[in-house]
Amino acid sequence: MILDQFKLQGRVALVTGSGRGLGQATALALAEAGADIASLDLSLPQETVARVEAVGRRCLPIACDLGQASPADLVAVVDQVVAELGRIDILINNAGIIRRQSAVEFSQANWDDVLAINLDAVFWLSQAAGRVMLEQGSGKIVNIASMLSFQGGVVVPSYAATKHAVAGVTKALANEWAGRGVNVNAIAPGYMATDNTAPLRADSGREASISERIPAGRWGVPEDLAGPMVFLCSAAADYVHGAILTVDGGWLNR
């Protein structure tokens, strides 16, 4: 039956930035589909652990500062997941930050900090998880891209640079790993009501201009990613490689 292909029983998923927002919604969606979860955030994501366990799945909390983590540190994270949960089948590279400053004033810290989390950690964690997945001949990696994987944005040059790069890394890894049983794809959310967009939603002018352009007539919420995420992590997407799936209420159509 086709619906059986969407089930994730027996799978283990590592979700970064899963203490709140899009990451927490993703962890819950995968748990509801049957996966056990390794929930990684800057501090131990106890609320996510409780919510995952409430649906009957195991949840391993991991505290890790991705902005400071070395490639070796991220290998150790993957090793911990395998040691404590038995395997790793799914990696969701969700964690990300944004810094807003005009390009002519943009600081080195605002550049380096965003690249460390949004790009460097994505690649090194994908590499670490990918080694395990390639060895077992199966795995799913889903990166979080953005509308700014396609557009330049305003006063967010480091964020736009990383999200363009995430799309490129997604395609590059898919080219290398598709024939070995590992799917690498990305989801590009539209304007979502999360902490990252709080400054935009607090600016009545920007909020109105954004809302007017969304054909769906509303900002997205974290739960809007649940279905697409489960799909890309499931057997139903076994022939999907290197895709950047937009979940944007139609934003790019305008």
| pLDDT tens digit sequence for 82-138 | 999 999 999 999 999 999 999 999 999 999 999 999 999 999 999 999 999 999 999
| pLDDT tens digit sequence for 35-84 | 999 999 999 999 999 999 999 999 999 999 999 999 999 999 999 999 99
Domain of 187 in residue numbering reads as 2-247
pLDDT reported for residue 21: 94
Least-confidence region, from 28-32, 118-122, 186-190, 192-196: 192-196
Cβ partners under 8 Å of residue 131, min gap 6: 78
Q: Does residue 126 lie in a domain region?
A: yes
Bridge-partner residues for 59, per DSSP? 37
Q: Does residue 252 lie in a domain region?
A: no
pLDDT reported for residue 108: 98
Least-confidence region, from 6-10, 88-92, 124-128, 194-198: 194-198
Cβ partners under 8 Å of residue 233, min gap 6: 8, 11, 13, 30, 33, 35, 90, 92, 140, 142
Given 123, 124, 159, 219, the catalytic residue: 159
**Number of structural domains the chain divides into:** 1
CATH number at residue 93: 3.40.50.720
Q: Does residue 253 lie in a domain region?
A: no
Q: Does residue 254 lie in a domain region?
A: no
Distance CA 111, CA 116 (A): 9
* Residue 159 a catalytic site member: yes
Four-point Cα dihedral 130, 134, 137, 138, nearest 10:
10
Distance CA 4, CA 254 (A): 36
Cβ partners under 8 Å of residue 121, min gap 6: 16, 66, 67, 69, 74, 93, 95
Say if residue 140's pLDDT is above 80.
Answer: yes
Say if residue 157's pLDDT is above 90.
Answer: yes
Q: Does residue 56 lie in a domain region?
A: yes
